[in-house]
Amino acid sequence: MNVGHSKAVVVVGAGPAGLLAAIAAARQGARVQVLEQMDRPGLKLLASGGGRCNLTNTLPAADYPARFGRQGRFLAPSLTACGPDRLREFFAELGVRTHSPDGFHVYPVTDSAATVLAALLQELERCAVPVRLGMKVTSLVYAVGNLQGVRAAGAAIPAEAVVLAAGGCSYPELGGTGGGYALAQAAGHALVAPVPALVPLVTRETWPGELAGVSLAQARLELDLPRRSRPAVQGALLFTHRGLSGPAVLDLSGAVAELLAQGSVAPLRLSLLPGASAASLHGLMGLWHSAQGRRSVARLLAEEGLPQALARSVVRLAGLAADRTAAQLTASERRALVGCLTACPLTVTATEGFARAMVTRGGVALREVAPATLASRKMPGLFFAGEVLDLDGPCGGFNLQWAFASGWLAGRRAAQAS
């Protein structure tokens, strides 16, 4: 609870990272207030997981760094402070029970993000932490290298520590304006150029649009970059009016967006039957020829698990007539068909942008932030949490876990800092 002469902490942003930071700081005895530019708190939290709020997942904390790739080790201290198990315990203490219907994704048992937000706001009220809405922070206030507070709504708000949890650029209508980046830069921090991540992709080819709404439970996507590393993912895929979406696509989209930002297109290879090798498919077509020669190739592909509309598209992409039978397949046609099934080429020309992105890749450079405390290495008294930092993970509760954990660590350390 807040104490009369305790440390003053301002938290910028009322998203998941900011709300946890405020609670953590208040529980350390700090006098805390949250400043939020929108007219409601937690708008992105309410939208998370399609409104169900995929809080975290059942993986052990030790498995998280690898899933975040590039700089995943940076999040280890945050997970030590508030890993998946501790996060579930924390919400249980607030009266929010959680469950994992599929054994991996973790949701509140109500399957409602509103339950999570209400519990956090109630805890802030219990800790006497005001959440001040419509308060856009325009600058940090500092003198002779010392942080003095922030300026918002034309007034200076004194603070001995500031937690910058202002989010990234994703979902701008929900508050993702990237305003925290300018504040960080003013404090001397470098930025990694932000790009959309966990975002649908737009393809040059039009045939995916003809399959809009068709999905695959399993597909494999690989960035086809000669003489460079080839990021690859496997999982569910959805065809859209403009190209591709679904968990596998979203997980690869950050790497694709980085490539697009360099002024290049992104060539992909799509495997529609990732459990089958080229050799096994050639063998399967040989069996078709001998045992089911009079049946159409499209129908046989559908029986192997492809949706019928996709099976017809594959036949067309391979250059075959729609009614081509298994017995009529030539050796070259088999090769073309196998190529379409195992390494179908696609060209991504754009993402659907920050308006459709779940998270931002890029942000405040991690080398200038201490992972053990999330304190700025440039400005004493300044701390960071959540999406404003250059760290993003795949689908499946990873990014919310990072937001909550980093908020918890930053809030505690902000309250404790001398």
53-106 pLDDT, tens per residue?
A: 999 999 999 999 999 987 999 999 999 999 999 999 999 999 999 999 999 999
Residue 72 and residue 70: Cα distance in Å, rounded?
A: 6
Task: Establish if 3 belongs to a structural domain.
Answer: no
- C-alpha to C-alpha distance for 268 and 378, rounded to whole angstroms: 40
Same domain, 289 and 365: no
Q: How much is the pLDDT for 1? A: 43
Q: Is the pLDDT of residue 26 over 70?
A: yes
| Same domain as 367, residue 306 | no
Query: Which of the listed residues 352, 380, 403 is the one where a domain comes to its end?
Result: 352
- Residue 2 — very low, low, confident or very high, per pLDDT cuts 50/70/90? very low
Count CB neighbours of 6 within 10 A.
17
Give the pLDDT score at 49. Answer: 85
CB 398 within 8 A of CB 68: yes
pTM, two decimal places:
0.93
What is the residue-averaged pLDDT of the chain? 94
Q: What are the pLDDT digits (tens) for 194-229?
A: 999 999 999 999 999 999 999 999 999 999 988 777
Same-domain check for residues 250 and 184: no
The mean pLDDT of 222-237, rounded to a whole number, is: 86
pLDDT at position 3, please? 44
Task: Please check whether residue 253 is in contact with residue 197, taking contact to mean a CB–CB distance below 8 angstroms.
Answer: yes
| 236 φ/ψ angles, rounded to the nearest 5 degrees | -70, 145
Q: Which domain holds residue 156?
A: 8-195+358-416
48 and 169 share one domain: yes
175 pLDDT more than 80: no
What mean pLDDT is predicted for residues 309-337? 95
Residues 191 and 227 in one domain: no
**Mean pLDDT, rounded, for 10-21:** 97
Q: Quote the number of domains for the chain.
A: 2
User: Do 146 and 269 share a domain, yes or no?
Assistant: no
Is 406 part of a structural domain of the chain?
yes
The answer to whether residue 40 sits within a structural domain is yes
How far is it, in rounded angstroms, from Cα 85 to Cα 180? Answer: 30
- What is the three-state SS of the chain? CCCCCCCEEEEECCCHHHHHHHHHHHHCCCEEEEEECCCCCCHHHHHHHHHCCCCEECCCHHHHHHHHCCCHHHHHHHHHHCCHHHHHHHHHHCCCCEECCCCCEEEECCCCHHHHHHHHHHHHHHCCCCEEECCCEEEEEEECCEEEEEEECCEEEECCEEEECCCCCCCHHHCCCCHHHHHHHHCCCCEEEEEEECCCEEECCCHHHHCCCCEEEEEEEEECCCCCCCCEEEEEEEECCCEEECHHHHHHHHHHHHHHHCCCCEEEEEECCCCCCHHHHHHHHHHHHHHCCCCEHHHHHHHCCCCHHHHHHHHHHCCCCCCCEHHHCCHHHHHHHHHHHHCEEEEEEEECCCCCCCEEEEEECHHHEECCCCEECCCCCEEECHHHECCCCCCCCHHHHHHHHHHHHHHHHHHHCC
Does 2 map to a domain?
Answer: no
Higher pLDDT, 80 or 230: 80
The pLDDT tens digits of the residues spanning 260-317 come to 999 989 999 999 999 899 999 999 999 999 999 999 999 999 999 999 999 999 999 9
Q: Are 345 and 195 in contact (CB under 8 A)?
A: no
Residue 287 and residue 216 share a domain: yes
Kindly provide the b/e burial profile for residues 166-175, where b requires at least 16 CB atoms within 10 angstroms of the residue's own CB. Answer: bbbbbbeebb
**Residue 384 neighbours by CB under 8 Å, 6+ apart:** 163, 164, 165, 184, 364, 369, 374, 376, 406, 410
Please write the tens of the pLDDT for every residue from 338-350.
999 999 999 999 9
Residues 173 and 24 grouped into a single domain: yes
- Are 362 and 192 in contact by the 8 Å Cβ rule? The answer is yes
Please give the angle made by the CA atoms of 377, 411 and 391, to the nearest 5 degrees. 60
Judgement on whether residues 102 and 205 belong to the same structural domain of the protein:
no
Is residue 5 very low, low, confident or very high in pLDDT (cuts 50, 70, 90)? low
Instruction: For residues 294 and 385, state if they share a domain.
Output: no
Query: Does residue 39 sit in the same domain as residue 18?
Result: yes
pLDDT-based confidence at residue 170 (cuts at 50, 70, 90): confident
* Cross-strand partners of 325: 296
pLDDT of residue 4: 47
Exposure string for 76-97, b = 16+ CB within 10 A, e = fewer: bbbbebbbbebbbebbeebebe
CATH number, position 403: 3.50.50.60
